[in-house]
Chains A and B, each alone.
Chain A
Amino acid sequence: MTTRELKIKSVEYRKKILKYICNAGAGHTGGSLSIIDILNVLYNRVMNVSPDNFDDPGRDRYVQSKGHSVEALYVVLADKGFFPEEDLLTLCRYQSPYIGHPTRKVRGMEQNTGGLGHGLAICAGNALAAKKDGLPLRVYTVLGDGEMAEGSNWEALMMAAHYKLDNLCAVLDYNKQQITGANADVIGLEPIRKKIEAFGWAVCEVDGNDVEALTETLENLPIEQGKPSFVIAHTVKGKGISYMEGVLKWHHGVPSPGQYYAAINELDTAFQALTEEKIGV
């Protein structure tokens, strides 16, 4: 997929995230809009995973450690053909497998997550198994910035560096906010880069809502041979919807019908600009 196609995908994905969250009347809107560009690039450019090879032990793996932003993942998995998109009309409904956090009842999901601080160790274990079996696959996770306060992450960081898991990549969705407020006011995580480097990982920073920059970074892993890769993705919570960007209540706020149409209008305008740009070239 070209960069422009990825950009168009991101707009489409944002529209779908809002559609299904509004239909459900529940969801983690801000976080899903924050990570969608990362998932877009991983699934459409970087990872070797699809419904056709999902049972192949050699497939690449993605585990969403910040499980609450599951709506973004559902939308991408549906687009990849793991299940019909209209299934998402049952999101968060009684008896639907599309519940509020990832479960393996949904095809395409690698791991049940939800409680924070679990995904990184699981990915490290998976990367370790792949190394032992000589499988050239990569394992990816997205961590939340608030989640970095979980001690289990730091245990896993130590372990992954010790075992030189350069087939492991953690992407930090660094939107600088968590449910209560700014990270800096809740529990500051700076200087995060120095901390992760001190734990023996190779670190780089990228605009996490820029698909071109993400592609450049995620297509060139590991950052350093012999070290796990930690990508600090600077993102914006609620990205793409101007009234949501950086506004705390959209952590799990659901737009009203009026707000929904305003958001869709904004995305349609972005979509139009992108397609005109395409014609122009």
Chain B
Amino acid sequence: MLDQWVSTGKKATRDGFGAGLFEAGKQHPEVVALCADLVGSLKMEAFIEAFPERFFQTGISEANMMGIAAGLATGGKIPYTGTFANFSTGRVYDQLRQSIAYSDKNVKVCASHAGLTLGEDGATHQILEDIGMTKMLPGFTVINPCDYNQTKAATMAIAEHHGPVYLRFGRPSWPVFIPESLPFEIGKALLLSEGTDVSIFATGHLVWNALEAARSLAAEGISCEVINIHTIKPLDEEAVLDSVSKTRCVVTAEEHNRFGGLGDSIAQVLTRRFPAPQEYVAVNDTFGESGKPDELLDKYGLGIKDVIAAVKTVLTRKQ
């Protein structure tokens, strides 16, 4: 199964968002889009060109954008907001909480440039806390797709899901390995490769690193089960338990602070239902800095070699 996930080239997940938004716009006349002055960065041009009457520029006023989106949702629209992940969450948390989550507004908060891999802009923009913030909001669905095709499919799928969604994606060109034809099921973990020694649960860009690590470990005789958790909330608990009850040890991998991200969501399921040793591949409670995506992933412990090391560590802890 590992061999089936090969890169067919590199594309950014934000381009997948742009393509998915355009398709969602074609399929659903209620879909509208808003942007806080980052149309080019979010790749929203195709939608805007096709549906100029359904696009609202808000200027650099993210709190306002979230309120406007809540109001548009009240008027029966399905608003997609577009800005960077830091401005989609921390800057507007009270709007997400009160005007959207607490008020159950059908707003799709679409967040680009998440994590370290945005690169050169550095720490202010490299949010590593956004999964934690959004998953704590009652009613929010939190999705972090892993490549262009999955992001495109997720962007289309959320139009058909009623309720607030946080859709997190990134800036860099990244391997495309999920088939375009694969449907996106919100809340359903995607088993990429069956294995017996360890379960690797990965989200976002780190799914590719997990696959590469698993291939390398296979050559050493270590069998990894690789599962793509694209939907962090609601978490596919049964998929987690099915895998861990077999492998009995876990590595989680995410481009996020180790506090509050995917790793903690997995750990919470396991502590309640099937305690097992777990290693985190995540940022160790710090801010980022400027650099190329690969340089940063390497420095902050999110590279392929870090997944390999985490697997080897957790295997030593396995009972």
Which residues of A are at the interface with B, using a C-beta cutoff of 8 A?
Answer: 57, 61, 104, 110-115, 117-118, 120-130, 132-133, 139, 151-152, 155-156, 158-159, 162-163
CB pair A112 B102 closer than 8 Å: yes
Report A-chain residues with C-beta under 8 Å of the C-beta of B79: 125
A125 in contact with B70 given A104-B103, A159-B58 (CB within 8 Å)? yes
* Residue contacts A-B, CB under 8 angstroms, 23 given: A61-B74, A111-B74, A112-B98, A112-B99, A115-B94, A118-B98, A121-B63, A121-B64, A121-B66, A122-B68, A122-B70, A124-B64, A125-B68, A125-B72, A128-B56, A128-B68, A128-B72, A128-B75, A129-B75, A132-B75, A151-B63, A155-B59, A156-B67
- In whole angstroms, what is the CA distance A184 to B104 when docked? 37
CB pair A155 B64 closer than 8 Å: yes
> Is B71 in contact with chain A by the CB < 8 A criterion?
yes
CB pair A128 B98 closer than 8 Å: no
Which among A121, A122, A125, A159 has the highest number of chain B CB atoms within 10 Å?
A: A125
CB pair B71 A129 closer than 8 Å: yes
CB pair B63 A152 closer than 8 Å: yes
Report A-chain residues with C-beta under 8 Å of the C-beta of B64: 121, 124, 152, 155-156, 158-159
Report B-chain residues with C-beta under 8 Å of the C-beta of A123: 71
CB pair A127 B76 closer than 8 Å: no
- In whole angstroms, what is the CA distance A122 to B56 when docked? 14
- In whole angstroms, what is the CA distance A167 to B79 when docked? 20
- In whole angstroms, what is the CA distance A159 to B63 when docked? 12
- In whole angstroms, what is the CA distance A124 to B68 when docked? 6
- In whole angstroms, what is the CA distance A104 to B100 when docked? 13
Give the distance to chain B from A150, nearest Cβ to Cβ, in Å. 9
Which among A113, A122, A123, A163 has the highest number of chain B CB atoms within 10 Å?
A: A122
Q: Contacts A126-B71, A128-B68, A152-B64 given; 9 further ones with Cβ under 8 A?
A: A57-B76, A118-B95, A121-B67, A121-B68, A121-B95, A122-B70, A123-B71, A125-B71, A139-B71
Report A-chain residues with C-beta under 8 Å of the C-beta of B32: 132
CB pair A159 B75 closer than 8 Å: no
Which residues of B are at the interface with A, using a C-beta cutoff of 8 A?
Answer: 32, 53-54, 56, 58-59, 61, 63-64, 66-77, 79, 94-95, 98-99, 102-104
A111 in contact with B103 given A57-B76, A159-B58 (CB within 8 Å)? yes
Report B-chain residues with C-beta under 8 Å of the C-beta of A152: 61, 63-64, 67, 95
CB pair B102 A133 closer than 8 Å: no
Give the distance to chain B from A228, nearest Cβ to Cβ, in Å. 13
Which partner residue on chain A sits nearest B104 by CB separation? A104
Report B-chain residues with C-beta under 8 Å of the C-beta of A158: 59, 61, 64
Which partner residue on chain A sits nearest B92 by CB separation? A152
Give the distance to chain A from B105, nearest Cβ to Cβ, in Å. 9
Query: What secondary structure prevails in chain A residues at the interface with B?
Result: helix
- In whole angstroms, what is the CA distance A130 to B71 when docked? 10
- In whole angstroms, what is the CA distance A165 to B234 when docked? 38
- In whole angstroms, what is the CA distance A151 to B104 when docked? 24
The 8 Å CB contact of B67, one of A61, A104, A122, is A122
Report A-chain residues with C-beta under 8 Å of the C-beta of B73: 125
CB pair B71 A114 closer than 8 Å: no
Report A-chain residues with C-beta under 8 Å of the C-beta of B69: 125
CB pair A125 B63 closer than 8 Å: no
Which partner residue on chain B sits nearest A153 by CB separation? B64
A155 in contact with B94 given A126-B75, A129-B76, A130-B75 (CB within 8 Å)? no
Report A-chain residues with C-beta under 8 Å of the C-beta of B76: 57, 129, 133
Which partner residue on chain A sits nearest B75 by CB separation? A129
CB pair B71 A128 closer than 8 Å: yes
- In whole angstroms, what is the CA distance A129 to B53 when docked? 11
CB pair B75 A125 closer than 8 Å: yes
Which among A113, A123, A126, A127 has the highest number of chain B CB atoms within 10 Å?
A: A126
A110 in contact with B74 given A121-B68, A152-B67 (CB within 8 Å)? yes
- In whole angstroms, what is the CA distance A183 to B98 when docked? 25
CB pair A155 B61 closer than 8 Å: yes
The 8 Å CB contact of B99, one of A122, A128, A129, is A122
CB pair A129 B94 closer than 8 Å: no
CB pair B98 A115 closer than 8 Å: yes
Report B-chain residues with C-beta under 8 Å of the C-beta of A163: 56
The 8 Å CB contact of B74, one of A113, A129, A133, A159, is A129
CB pair B72 A126 closer than 8 Å: yes
Which partner residue on chain A sits nearest B67 by CB separation? A121
Give the distance to chain A from B152, nearest Cβ to Cβ, in Å. 26
Which partner residue on chain A sits nearest B62 by CB separation? A155
Report B-chain residues with C-beta under 8 Å of the C-beta of A159: 58-59, 61, 64, 68
Report B-chain residues with C-beta under 8 Å of the C-beta of A162: 59
Which partner residue on chain B sits nearest A150 by CB separation? B63
- In whole angstroms, what is the CA distance A159 to B65 when docked? 9
Report B-chain residues with C-beta under 8 Å of the C-beta of A112: 98-99, 102-103
Report A-chain residues with C-beta under 8 Å of the C-beta of B63: 117, 121, 151-152, 155
Report A-chain residues with C-beta under 8 Å of the C-beta of B104: 104
Which partner residue on chain B sits nearest A102 by CB separation? B103
- In whole angstroms, what is the CA distance A124 to B59 when docked? 15
Report B-chain residues with C-beta under 8 Å of the C-beta of A151: 63
- In whole angstroms, what is the CA distance A130 to B74 when docked? 10
Report B-chain residues with C-beta under 8 Å of the C-beta of A115: 94, 98
Report B-chain residues with C-beta under 8 Å of the C-beta of A121: 63-64, 66-68, 70-71, 95, 99
